[in-house]
Chain A
Amino acid sequence: MSTLLEVSGVSVSFDGFKAINNLSIQIGEAELRAVIGPNGAGKTTFMDIVTGKTRPDEGYVIWGESSVNLLTMSESQIALAGIGRKFQRPTVFEAQTVRENIVMSLKNPRRPFDLLFGRQADDTEYRVRVVSDEIGLTDALDQTSGALSHGQKQWLEIGMLLAQDPRLLLVDEPAAGMSPAEREHTTDLLVRAAKTRAVVVVEHDMDFVRRLNCKVTVLHQGSVLAEGSLDHVTKNKDVVDVYLGR
């Protein structure tokens, strides 16, 4: 499997505290990967670095076949290069309808004048429907998204990711605050999405990770503690210590 994203030797500190410490992770094309680790392990910060929100003190983040350096790119450029992100706290535009949220995310020209003068593509409605069917929000398309339940907002945010049609999805705690049934639906969504693109999922819930049935990376204190199948890493003595030690 060829490498899509390569993070190597990345470190970042906040006021002297090393949140990420010489971290190296490789994500392959169309790979599903779970990232786990205790609170404060640096999982969110890892995503911040890849998406350009946080600039590391050292290291490289290399993307795609042409090996572009993501560290020189702005957040919007990185997003356009094909990396989509779902935040830990669901962030949808609550004042707008579900449809508006999805339409805004659809892969389309994104400059102001494109939006002002460009005619809306004829297949827009169709593409919106594909996404809303996938996340089960077709009936809620004209609803204000602030009125959605917590779980539905999480799905909408995943839907907004799918609408962008990225090559890599970074998904931060997608199942937080969901009922067991909702979790199952979310697992299906992510597994399906990973068929055609790479998906990196940060999650605390071990059952959820088990259902993803994929390679797992364990982060601890800003670096990789173990990597492999879930069974493999849970047998790892360091991992057991870290989890039980808390």
Chain B
Amino acid sequence: MQSSFIARNPSVLWFLLALSAFTVLVSLLSEAGGSALISTSFLKTLGKTLCLCLVAIAMDVVWGYCGILSLGHFAFFGIGGYAIGMWLMYERTAEIVTTSLDSNILPPTPDEITDAIGSQIFGVVGSNDFPLIWAFSHSLTLQLLAVVLVPGLLALVFGWLAFRSRVTGVYLSILTQAMTLALSLHFFQNDTGLRGNNGLSGLQNIPGLEGVPQATVSLWFFWASAFALGAGYVLFSWVVSGKLGSVIRAIRDDETRVRFLGYHVESYKLFVFTLTAMVAGIAGALYYPQAGIINPAEIAPIASIYLAVWVAIGGRGRLYGAVIGAAVVSLMSSWFTGGSAPDINLGVYVIKWTDWWLVLLGLTFVAVTLFFPKGIGGLFDLLPRRKGDTK
């Protein structure tokens, strides 16, 4: 019982080893690493994939371990992206505006600068005033805090209301869908002050790093994503192991019984829901600078459903399963929908993968749920197991 954390969770060590090896390999093959086998755009795809893996393990903890089928966790991911995006956009626009105003004969007043930044950013939505939610956009520290705190706070309030009323099962899933839908619609409004359907763009340009080539910046973000995934994996392994993990899994299996043991089930759900939302926020904050753009469509209800599909296909209730599911499905998804997959000509009909990928994914999901509920991760059970190797 008192054995060390790693000894109780051998999969953590294996995972960190695999992740490190992958990171080194990709770095060596990247443009910045001297070889050009991995293009910068593919490097970004890989970095983004690591972020998706991170939000997937968060989803696995909340659903696979605690039994809360949240179909809203991608909202937290998006909020993280918006929070960092606001700083990126503000700071970058400020640099451009200041440089261009410097060429004026009269030095610009602070008001002129603010106005110029405002009209640069909000011109697309016909405004040049800074909305209130941009109050802290000049401060990287505060926006970084927002990456964690805003999703955390939203999850805390939402979860408190939902769990306190003992909303469970499919009702809770619907409620979380409603949350992410409402948020997405809210962000679509120009009045919200987040540039409506334009979203935030140019996020790949990191202020202060203009002199550094994108190949290098992308590699740094790739490293940061890998580090975050590794740290998240360790954090969640720690949470779901030991006594806390025991109670969390018990809540998944029979929450009523856990209550009669004297545990305040709602606190546990709230803890898990909030913690995973915060991690999802971090994942989003690392993802969108690599994607370059974020808009409200990113947090549409379907995005959170995909997240659940990844975890189901990868195998819920085991963290590496979520990683595998997110990586495999999201990479395949970008391959199929990116137009690189060869169309299949049946003579009478041409299967275009851009249209048919969703059908394939849907069928895979149904097949996995029906015939292989442990998902891809279940394959690892076929390996010879050592004693004490718990899931």
A residues with CB within 8 A of B? 51, 53, 74-76, 79-80, 84-85, 87, 91, 93-96, 99-100, 103-105, 110-113, 115-116, 120, 124-125, 160, 164
- Assess whether B243 is in contact with A104, with CB atoms less than 8 Å apart: yes
Is the C-beta of B191 less than 8 angstroms from some C-beta in chain A? no
- Whole-angstrom distance between the alpha carbons of A51 and B262 in the complex? 11
Pick the contact of B243: A75, A76, A120 (CB < 8 A).
Answer: A120
Chain A residue contacts of B271, Cβ below 8 A: 112-113
- Whole-angstrom distance between the alpha carbons of A95 and B257 in the complex? 14
Known: A76-B264, A104-B246, A112-B268. A120 touches B1 (CB 8 A): yes
- Whole-angstrom distance between the alpha carbons of A96 and B390 in the complex? 10
Is the C-beta of B22 less than 8 angstroms from some C-beta in chain A? no
Tell me the smallest distance from the CB of B85 to a CB of chain A, in Å.
32
Q: Most chain-A Cβ atoms within 10 A of its Cβ — which of B1, B242, B260?
A: B260
- Digit string of B243-287 for contact with A (CB within 8 Å is 1, else 0)? 110110110011011011111110110010000000000000000
Cβ-closest chain A residue relative to B252 = A95
**Which chain B residues numbered 1 to 19 have a C-beta less than 8 Å away from chain A?**
1-2
- Digit string of B86-98 for contact with A (CB within 8 Å is 1, else 0)? 0000000000000
Is the C-beta of B239 less than 8 angstroms from some C-beta in chain A? yes
Known: A95-B253, A111-B267, A116-B239. A124 touches B244 (CB 8 A): no
Known: A75-B260, A76-B264, A79-B259. A115 touches B253 (CB 8 A): no
Chain A residue contacts of B267, Cβ below 8 A: 111-112
Pick the contact of A110: B1, B242, B260, B264 (CB < 8 A).
Answer: B264
- Assess whether B261 is in contact with A164, with CB atoms less than 8 Å apart: yes
Known: A94-B253, A120-B2. A115 touches B243 (CB 8 A): yes
- Whole-angstrom distance between the alpha carbons of A58 and B23 in the complex? 66
Tell me the smallest distance from the CB of B279 to a CB of chain A, in Å.
15
- Assess whether B264 is in contact with A91, with CB atoms less than 8 Å apart: no
Chain B residue contacts of A95, Cβ below 8 A: 249, 253
Chain A residue contacts of B268, Cβ below 8 A: 112
- Assess whether A96 is in contact with B260, with CB atoms less than 8 Å apart: no
Interface CB pairs A-B, < 8 A, 8: A75-B260, A76-B261, A79-B261, A104-B246, A110-B264, A112-B244, A112-B267, A125-B1
Please count the residue pairs between chain A and chain B whose beta carbons lie under 8 angstroms apart in the complex: 73
Chain B residue contacts of A116, Cβ below 8 A: 239, 242, 244
- Assess whether B259 is in contact with A76, with CB atoms less than 8 Å apart: yes
- Whole-angstrom distance between the alpha carbons of A124 and B260 in the complex? 21
- Assess whether A104 is in contact with B253, with CB atoms less than 8 Å apart: no
Cβ-closest chain B residue relative to A163 = B261
Chain A residue contacts of B244, Cβ below 8 A: 112, 115-116
- Whole-angstrom distance between the alpha carbons of A105 and B243 in the complex? 11
Chain A residue contacts of B246, Cβ below 8 A: 93, 96, 100, 103-104
Tell me the smallest distance from the CB of B158 to a CB of chain A, in Å.
18
Chain A residue contacts of B1, Cβ below 8 A: 99, 103, 120, 124-125
Tell me the smallest distance from the CB of A109 to a CB of chain B, in Å.
10
Q: Most chain-B Cβ atoms within 10 A of its Cβ — which of A96, A115, A124?
A: A115
- Whole-angstrom distance between the alpha carbons of A112 and B275 in the complex? 12
- Assess whether A76 is in contact with B249, with CB atoms less than 8 Å apart: no
Tell me the smallest distance from the CB of B24 to a CB of chain A, in Å.
33
- Assess whether B262 is in contact with A96, with CB atoms less than 8 Å apart: no
Chain A residue contacts of B259, Cβ below 8 A: 74-76, 79
- Whole-angstrom distance between the alpha carbons of A113 and B243 in the complex? 11
- Whole-angstrom distance between the alpha carbons of A110 and B244 in the complex? 10
- Whole-angstrom distance between the alpha carbons of A160 and B250 in the complex? 14
- Whole-angstrom distance between the alpha carbons of A113 and B271 in the complex? 9
Pick the contact of A104: B2, B239, B247 (CB < 8 A).
Answer: B247
**Which chain B residues numbered 67 to 106 have a C-beta less than 8 Å away from chain A?**
none
Tell me the smallest distance from the CB of B261 to a CB of chain A, in Å.
6
Known: A93-B249, A103-B246, A104-B243. A164 touches B254 (CB 8 A): no
Cβ-closest chain B residue relative to A113 = B271
- Assess whether B257 is in contact with A87, with CB atoms less than 8 Å apart: yes
- Assess whether B265 is in contact with A76, with CB atoms less than 8 Å apart: yes
Tell me the smallest distance from the CB of B159 to a CB of chain A, in Å.
13
Tell me the smallest distance from the CB of B21 to a CB of chain A, in Å.
30
- Assess whether A104 is in contact with B257, with CB atoms less than 8 Å apart: no
Known: A111-B267, A112-B271. A164 touches B262 (CB 8 A): yes
- Assess whether B250 is in contact with A76, with CB atoms less than 8 Å apart: no
Tell me the smallest distance from the CB of A209 to a CB of chain B, in Å.
24
Chain B residue contacts of A85, Cβ below 8 A: 260
Q: Most chain-B Cβ atoms within 10 A of its Cβ — which of A91, A100, A111, A113?
A: A100
Tell me the smallest distance from the CB of A89 to a CB of chain B, in Å.
11
- Whole-angstrom distance between the alpha carbons of A112 and B247 in the complex? 9
Known: A103-B246, A104-B250, A124-B1. A160 touches B261 (CB 8 A): yes
Tell me the smallest distance from the CB of B2 to a CB of chain A, in Å.
7
Cβ-closest chain A residue relative to B317 = A95
Tell me the smallest distance from the CB of A144 to a CB of chain B, in Å.
10
- Whole-angstrom distance between the alpha carbons of A121 and B195 in the complex? 54
Q: List the 6 closest A-B pairs by CB distance, nearest first.
A: A79-B262, A75-B259, A115-B244, A112-B271, A80-B262, A115-B243
Cβ-closest chain B residue relative to A103 = B243
Cβ-closest chain B residue relative to A99 = B1
Chain A residue contacts of B253, Cβ below 8 A: 93-95
Chain B residue contacts of A100, Cβ below 8 A: 246
- Whole-angstrom distance between the alpha carbons of A99 and B244 in the complex? 14
* Additional A-B contact list (9), CB under 8 Å, known A104-B243, A112-B271, A115-B243: A76-B259, A76-B265, A103-B1, A104-B246, A110-B264, A112-B244, A112-B268, A113-B271, A115-B244
Chain B residue contacts of A96, Cβ below 8 A: 246, 249-250
- Assess whether A93 is in contact with B262, with CB atoms less than 8 Å apart: no
- Whole-angstrom distance between the alpha carbons of A76 and B267 in the complex? 11
- Whole-angstrom distance between the alpha carbons of A64 and B199 in the complex? 61
